[in-house]
Structure 1
């Protein structure tokens, strides 16, 4: 062997171990980087688990899960899709890096179509590396951002698939790897526990609100509080039980074929109170009212037509069933909210049961109180008629007989004035008897006429005297009563504006066939050539009803107005 050849072989033997050592060092460094990266991802995963378990509000938990998943796998876009209880569609999207318009587009994908539908039908981890070849096959709507890579894993709560985590577009343009899938699956497992804890916490809060609300409403109803106040309390507590944005209590008016919104609770809800809605318009509410079965809708319709009102999930429960049906309790949440869970439906239905019973008991109690009041009024009216009036009448007859035996004229005049006073007292007692026979929950014509006179006293500066004789509340129909109130108001207004009077009187006599109103004052009388528009209006009302109207000055000063109409006249 030549000397040069031997030297080359020696150099090769010296370099070979050096090259193997470099490879080993490179491999070791790569392994260390992998270990360090794995350690960092484990730390990040632990931090994410702690983060998502640190809150019990479900909305916050879902947002934290989505943000943690996006960070762990270096995804540009992330979303958490919540699957409805029927297991056929997405009912909520919590996203990171996606605009609201894109969320709306995703939310309207057909059921069971595209990637989201695939994961709903087959909830297993799914990795795709190129979505650009056939984007329509994956269900992307027109105008959706280009997405090439996709990773999705299911979130399970016990044995139930709650939803799916969706990640797209790895930062830097790489593919999602098996390690990403493993990390995301581990996060989904922890997310299931956090979601279950949030659900249990919310269910506990709902039960607490239900217990407090049931006791409060029942106590309020049975303690005699105003019915409108109690129904308003029912609406507010129903909203709180379901943690909803808006709640309404709609009672049925079968005669009119309408729902009457007795109370509403929520932001700016007072504008709905008192609204009447045809029963056929809110079809879901009518179905619940007729069937007695509650209804939960992912996307419901407003109970009333209002351009400013937009609702998402809706829950409707009946107030009573069958013969005890009263109406419905309707609650709604804002758009894009989670649907009302079965727990909320059961609690609201359980809340509506005692409310219905309490409403029934309260109505029975009011009927009993009303009957007792009517019986007392009837007894008082009979006592006044059979005892007091008869004695006064007998006393008046006795005085009239005694007046004939009195020789002195002044003494006779005094006795006759006493008889006249007794007659006036008898008329007033009869008027009181008629008032007692008016149902207590109805505002009588007599009461409304007193309100007109009382309201005029402020402008007059004094209280006019009032005398009402006859069957004012039973013999006078609604049409004539409205004209009577209008003429009385106009007559007293004229006295206040023009008469400069210090006294005025109003008397109404209801006879067998006609009604007569007299308004008198001690003022300056009717001037010649004065304005007559108010008097003309009163005359036209009398003429329309087939009656008469006169106004003239009194000899002792002031004016006298007489308005007479037949009771059988139609307006």
Structure 2
């Protein structure tokens, strides 16, 4: 150390010790980095300072924290140096302490952008976190050194001490940030699993996964794609800051390089969606860095989770990729578990419906039938009393009608509730059930004969159309409180041929041009 430098360094030792004590006082990484560059600039008496974070995967500088550069100067510079040229780039490639008295005479200082502040002297030191180079500290324009040589070897020594302590502080802040980030991803995955197992619909479940992942990854959008019958993949759920409707339905066509990689179970990481030739979707121009993570369970691909960031956004780091991949694995398992739970609930409903149908058939119908037989026997014995005979006949007819309606209910219980019925009987029941929501009551339905076996498809379609028209007509009359639908597959047409007859009866009073309250249609079989 020269005498001049030693005299200059001694008064700064207390300031250096104070700086060493304060540099690690904040566990927030970004706040720590800004504090380091501000402290170094003040300690060395520099006009400008910068701390560039090295990108180990891509080279260059991923972030640049500055001191002494106001908003006006930043606007004149435009985009800050990326570490590909100049002294900043030289330190990235060769991370060793560097002292330059005059930047104008050093060929390594070339490449400053237009509008950059004029700089003469320069000093730079690497910041190491353990054995890894985290970044570099750059200072320029020594204050109060007009006509002198600028930064001294003492300045460089002080910066090296500060950089050593800064490495420890950065290591602690990075560790804290990693723990916090991992904690957020774990909490997000747990919240996602809880929501999926709470009984959400399939569409809501996928949207939950997309939204949780978007928030955790700080992405512009979170989308879930599922395989299509043609061999491609389609966006079926999306979460964005705006309206996600324009993303839904976007398809990755079969044969896409991205798709082949996903189908092989490998994640896809993209630096810029707009310029990457592997991306072929219509929305790729809107996004920048992206990652596409396969949702696999039991060796089966059930979908893909895509997390694109905005154009010009920061690329995903290795830690972010790892955490997102772990989230995708847990989300895939949660989706399979939710689907299995939904299947179990459906199976329980089917079993319960089968039990009710068996009870109705084995107990209620048999008892009603036995009661009907007893009444029929009583009517025959009391054939001499006309009034009693009429009363018993009406009771028998009512019981017979009740038996038919109970059998219809049994049939409806045996149908899967979410499936479209394929039989004529099932379609009739679906029409009347749909009309019940409009009428305010359930129409009664009675079938005579094996309608599913006897009624052909053409006749069934015509009768269903007539049934819809009759139910709509009943809905237009507010005085209707009861509707009875009867379908007889053993009817006889006027020419003697076997026909199927549809009769719809309501309790509305007669109207002009409508002599009765019964509509009847016949179709020969």
**TM-score computed with the length of structure 1 as normaliser:** 0.67
**Residue 507 of structure 1 pairs with residue 485 of structure 2:** yes
Alignment equivalent of 1:194, drawn from 144, 160, 169: 169
Residue equivalent to 1:279: 252
Distance 1:554-1:164 versus aligned 2 partners, 3 A rule: farther
SS in 2 for 1:421: helix
Alignment equivalent of 1:370, drawn from 321, 346, 357: 346
C-alpha deviations, 1:187-229, integer Å up to 9, x for none? 3323222221111001222343455455555566557666666
SS in 2 for 1:276: coil
Judge conservation of contact 2:270–2:290 (CA < 8 Å) in 1. Answer: yes
Query: Which whole-Å CA distance do the structure 2 matches of 1:119 and 1:304 have between them?
Result: 40
Distance 1:292-1:84 versus aligned 2 partners, 3 A rule: farther
Alignment map for 1:35-184 (pairs within 5 Å): 37-96=8-67, 97=69, 105-106=79-80, 112-128=84-100, 138-141=110-113, 143-145=114-116, 147-149=118-120, 150-170=122-142, 174=146, 176-179=150-153, 180-184=155-159
Alignment equivalent of 2:305, drawn from 314, 329, 335: 329
Residue equivalent to 2:329: 353
Q: Tell me how far 1:162 sits from its aligned partner.
A: 1.7
**Residue 453 of structure 1 pairs with residue 453 of structure 2:** no
Judge conservation of contact 1:91–1:298 (CA < 8 Å) in 2. Answer: no
Q: Tell me how far 1:399 sits from its aligned partner.
A: 4.7
Distance 1:87-1:431 versus aligned 2 partners, 3 A rule: same
Worse-superposed segment, 47-56 or 156-165: 47-56
Instruction: Tell me which structure has the larger Cα radius of gyration.
Output: 1
C-alpha deviations, 1:521-554, integer Å up to 9, x for none? 525736xxxxxxxxxxxxxxxxxxxxxxxxx524
Alignment map for 1:102-501 (pairs within 5 Å): 105-106=79-80, 112-128=84-100, 138-141=110-113, 143-145=114-116, 147-149=118-120, 150-170=122-142, 174=146, 176-179=150-153, 180-213=155-188, 217-218=192-193, 234-235=209-210, 238=213, 242=216, 244-245=218-219, 248=222, 250-255=224-229, 257-262=232-237, 264=239, 268=241, 271=244, 275-280=248-253, 286=259, 289-299=262-272, 313-320=289-296, 323-331=299-307, 339-378=315-354, 380-381=356-357, 384-385=360-361, 388-389=364-365, 392-393=368-369, 396=372, 399-400=375-376, 403=379, 406-442=383-419, 446=429, 449-454=432-437, 456-457=438-439, 463-469=440-446, 487=469, 490-491=472-473, 494-496=476-478, 501=479
SS in 1 for 2:511: coil
Judge conservation of contact 2:40–2:49 (CA < 8 Å) in 1. Answer: yes
Q: Tell me how far 1:124 sits from its aligned partner.
A: 2.4
Judge conservation of contact 2:52–2:61 (CA < 8 Å) in 1. Answer: yes
Distance 1:226-1:481 versus aligned 2 partners, 3 A rule: farther
- Number of matched pairs: 490
SS in 1 for 2:476: helix
Distance 1:441-1:224 versus aligned 2 partners, 3 A rule: same
Alignment equivalent of 2:511, drawn from 515, 519, 525: 525
Judge conservation of contact 1:289–1:321 (CA < 8 Å) in 2. Answer: no
Residue equivalent to 1:538: none
Residue equivalent to 2:514: 553
C-alpha deviations, 1:52-80, integer Å up to 9, x for none? 31211122222223333343444444433
Judge conservation of contact 1:517–1:562 (CA < 8 Å) in 2. Answer: yes
Judge conservation of contact 1:285–1:328 (CA < 8 Å) in 2. Answer: no
C-alpha deviations, 1:307-343, integer Å up to 9, x for none? 9x96665444332257432223344566766544433
Query: Which whole-Å CA distance do the structure 1 matches of 2:253 and 2:485 have between them?
Result: 50
Distance 1:70-1:376 versus aligned 2 partners, 3 A rule: same
C-alpha deviations, 1:176-197, integer Å up to 9, x for none? 4234433333333232222211
Judge conservation of contact 2:53–2:134 (CA < 8 Å) in 1. Answer: yes
Q: Tell me how far 1:293 sits from its aligned partner.
A: 2.9
Distance 1:314-1:366 versus aligned 2 partners, 3 A rule: same
Q: Tell me how far 1:466 sits from its aligned partner.
A: 1.0
Distance 1:67-1:509 versus aligned 2 partners, 3 A rule: farther
Query: Which whole-Å CA distance do the structure 1 matches of 2:399 and 2:47 have between them?
Result: 98
Q: Tell me how far 1:37 sits from its aligned partner.
A: 4.6
Residue equivalent to 2:496: none
RMSD value, Cα: 4.8
Distance 1:136-1:161 versus aligned 2 partners, 3 A rule: closer
SS in 2 for 1:553: coil
Query: Which whole-Å CA distance do the structure 2 matches of 1:42 and 1:355 have between them?
Result: 54
Distance 1:357-1:163 versus aligned 2 partners, 3 A rule: same
Query: Which whole-Å CA distance do the structure 2 matches of 1:79 and 1:229 have between them?
Result: 47
Judge conservation of contact 1:125–1:154 (CA < 8 Å) in 2. Answer: yes
C-alpha deviations, 1:368-416, integer Å up to 9, x for none? 4433443443454456457654664565466556545513332222222
SS in 2 for 1:425: helix
Query: Which whole-Å CA distance do the structure 2 matches of 1:566 and 1:90 have between them?
Result: 84
Q: Tell me, which stretches of 5 or more residues in structure 1 are unaligned?
A: 1-29, 458-462, 527-551
